């Protein structure tokens, strides 16, 4: 098969990191293509954007995930040895653990803990009577909910420390310099804490409830019928805790969208659940969060005139695909109504990955994410009276995850439960 790769390619890591959400999509649109090759972190990388490219990317015969994510991502955000880097039968078996812990009774259990945490925190906010940095407030609230749901023995005094640790894994993973070092350190500490706990659980040295997530992870058997090594079990437990706390980013973006589009507040406060669904989907489509996902080519092939060499890293642009003008009319406009008339496909609406979750790498936590966003909307519009006190709501697109440039603050005036 002819390799048409350019012999020399300059490195675009700086350009990518300065605009991680728009780097791939803008170049694809400028060159009217779905794929181009560049160099990122000094490695040749094929960048893909759009629904056809997403369908290709999720073809498990063409791509695999082992060693696909760059080391700095595995050392902070993902952890090493977790489900993200598995393929084939090993992946399917591990993924079944996550599917069981993110749907049905497990999901309802998490929502119940989150509802309790909202009530506790709302009372505290009212007593404090101060402006709240909403992101900080949501990270604390979701840390409480996630740790209690997982059955982790906690003392109340631990919340600030646990919030800091779990947040660093996603909030500082892509930060320059010291921030990234803090994320690596937080991962080391958190994995040690949870690996010890898993060992204790297996040896009968804890009184963990048998129906909690930590118990399920401790006793999960992989495709070879063996228990996971404690460190890997800790990575997987963090794969539940970390992203649950990261939903705080979407909750900030939800409040941001409500502030910028106040015309939706009255029908949403009145309980229009169809509009609530559409509004939440549009937040997930329109706002930047997870920019791209990575894989490696399994075997040489040619697609749209581009040679895909075995072993080469490939990145699929999530943000750009959610803004692709071929799939979305007026993609830069925030229009929840589009979801009332358009049913998204598994490849054109991919804020949490594409294809399907059980047999592929799509995020298993979408139901949790959407449910926590619905719950937050209900709390904010029906149980609290609040005002946004931040003046400048411009988003910082160079930050990962993207957030308002100035911290979004609210003042809670009334709480009704």
Residues forming contacts to ligand HEM in the complex (CB under 6 A) are 83-84, 95, 98, 102, 239-240, 243-244, 246-247, 250, 289-290, 293, 318, 351-353, 361-365, 368-369
* H or E segment and range at residue 253: helix 230-260
From the CB of 257, what's the least distance to ligand HEM, in Å? 15
Distance separating alpha carbons of residues 398 and 16, to the nearest angstrom: 9
Residue 97 or 268 having the CB closest to ligand HEM: 97
Whichever of 83 and 195 has its CB closer to ligand HEM, that residue is: 83
Task: Specify the residue, 284 or 338, whose C-beta has the smaller distance to ligand HEM.
Answer: 284
User: What three-state secondary structure class fits 3?
Assistant: coil
Measured CA angle at 337 (ends 335, 338), to 5 deg: 80
Beta bridge partners of 36: 47
Beta carbon of residue 367, minimum distance to ligand HEM (angstroms, whole number): 9
**Beta strand 301-303 pairing with 395-396:** unpaired
Distance between CA atoms of 148 and 140, rounded to whole angstroms? 12
Kindly tell me which of 361 and 412 has the beta carbon lying closer to ligand HEM.
361
Taking the complex as a whole, the smallest distance from the CB of residue 1 to ligand HEM amounts, in Å, to 26
Taking the least distance from each CB to ligand HEM, the nearer of 83 and 379 is: 83
Distance CA 17, CA 54 (A): 22
Report how far residue 203's alpha carbon sits from residue 197's, in angstroms, rounded to the nearest whole number.
10
Interacting residues of 102 by C-beta distance below 8 A, sequence separation 6+: 240, 364, 365, 367, 368
d(CA 330, CA 30): 17
Cβ closest to ligand HEM, residue 253 vs residue 381: 253
For 64, the token pair is 């695999």
Give start and end residues of each alpha helix (H) in 291-334.
318-322
Q: Smallest distance from the beta carbon of 415 to ligand HEM, in angstroms?
A: 25
Alpha helix locations (H) across 51-177?
51-57, 71-73, 88-101, 104-128, 134-150, 159-171
Nearer to ligand HEM, 76 or 412 (CB): 76
Cα-to-chain-centroid distance, residue 406: 22
> Residue of minimal CB distance from ligand HEM?
365
CA distances from 165 to 139, 171, 187, 279 (A): 11, 10, 8, 31
Nearest to ligand HEM of 25, 364 (CB atom): 364
Question: Could you tell me how many residues make up the chain?
Answer: 417
Q: Give the whole-angstrom CA distance, residue 28 versus residue 5.
A: 17
Kindly state the smallest distance separating residue 358's Cβ from ligand HEM, in Å: 9
State which residue, 141 or 412, has the beta carbon closest to ligand HEM.
141
Minimum distance, C-beta of residue 417 to ligand HEM, in the bound complex (Å): 25
- CA–CA separation, 384 and 417 (whole Å): 9
Query: Closest CB to ligand HEM among 285 and 361?
Result: 361
Task: Please state the closest distance from residue 221 (CB atom) to ligand HEM, in A.
Answer: 17
Instruction: Check if the beta carbon of residue 44 is closer than 8 Å to that of residue 313.
Output: yes
Could you tell me the smallest distance in angstroms from the CB atom of residue 106 to ligand HEM? Answer: 9
Residues 6+ positions from 211 with CB-CB distance below 8 Å: none
Closest approach of ligand HEM to the CB of residue 83, in Å: 5
Closest separation between CB of residue 45 and ligand HEM, Å?
16
Shortest Cβ 111–ligand HEM spacing (Å): 12
Residue 402 or 412 with smaller CB distance to ligand HEM: 402
Q: Output the six-digit token pair for 378.
A: 């209900």
Per-residue DSSP letter, 166 = H
């Amino acid at each position: 098969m002819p390799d048409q790769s350019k012999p020399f390619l300059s490195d675009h890591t700086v350009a990518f990191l300065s605009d991680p959400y728009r780097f791939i999509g803008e170049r694809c649109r400028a060159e009217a293509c779905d794929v181009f090759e560049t160099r990122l972190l000094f490695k040749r990388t094929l960048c893909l954007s759009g629904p056809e490219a997403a369908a290709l990317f999720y073809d498990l015969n063409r791509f695999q995930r082992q060693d696909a994510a760059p080391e700095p991502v595995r050392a902070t955000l993902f952890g090493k040895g977790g489900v993200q880097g598995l393929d084939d039968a090993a992946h399917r078996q591990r993924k079944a653990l996550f599917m069981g812990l993110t749907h049905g009774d497990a999901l309802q259990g998490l929502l119940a803990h989150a509802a309790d945490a909202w009530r506790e925190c709302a009372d505290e906010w009212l007593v404090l009577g101060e402006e709240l940095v909403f992101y900080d407030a949501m990270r604390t609230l979701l840390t409480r909910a996630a740790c209690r749901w997982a059955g982790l023995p906690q003392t109340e005094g631990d919340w600030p420390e646990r919030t800091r640790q779990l947040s660093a894994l996603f909030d500082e993973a892509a930060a320059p310099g010291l921030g990234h070092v803090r994320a690596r350190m937080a991962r080391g500490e958190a994995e040690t804490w949870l690996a010890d706990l898993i060992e204790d659980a297996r040896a009968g040295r804890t009184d963990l409830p048998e129906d909690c997530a930590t118990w399920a992870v401790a006793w999960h058997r992989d495709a070879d019928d063996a228990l996971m090594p404690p460190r890997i079990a800790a990575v997987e437990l963090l794969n539940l805790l970390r992203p649950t706390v990261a939903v705080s980013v979407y909750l900030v973006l939800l409040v941001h969208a409500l502030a910028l589009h106040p015309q939706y507040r009255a029908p949403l406060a009145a309980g229009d659940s169809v509009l609530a669904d559409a509004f939440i989907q549009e937040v997930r489509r329109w706002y930047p969060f997870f920019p791209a996902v990575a894989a490696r080519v399994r075997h040489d092939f040619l697609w749209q005139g581009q040679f895909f060499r075995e072993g080469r890293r490939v990145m699929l642009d999530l943000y750009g695909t959610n803004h692709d003008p071929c799939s979305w009319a007026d993609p830069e406009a925030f229009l929840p109504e589009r979801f009332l008339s358009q049913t998204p496909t598994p490849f054109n609406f991919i804020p949490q990955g594409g294809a399907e979750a059980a047999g592929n790498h799509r995020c298993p936590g979408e139901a949790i994410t959407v449910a926590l966003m619905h719950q937050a909307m209900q709390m904010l519009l029906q149980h609290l009276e609040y005002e946004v006190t931040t003046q400048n709501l411009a988003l910082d697109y160079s930050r990962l995850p993207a957030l308002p440039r100035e911290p979004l603050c609210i003042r809670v005036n009334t709480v009704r439960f």
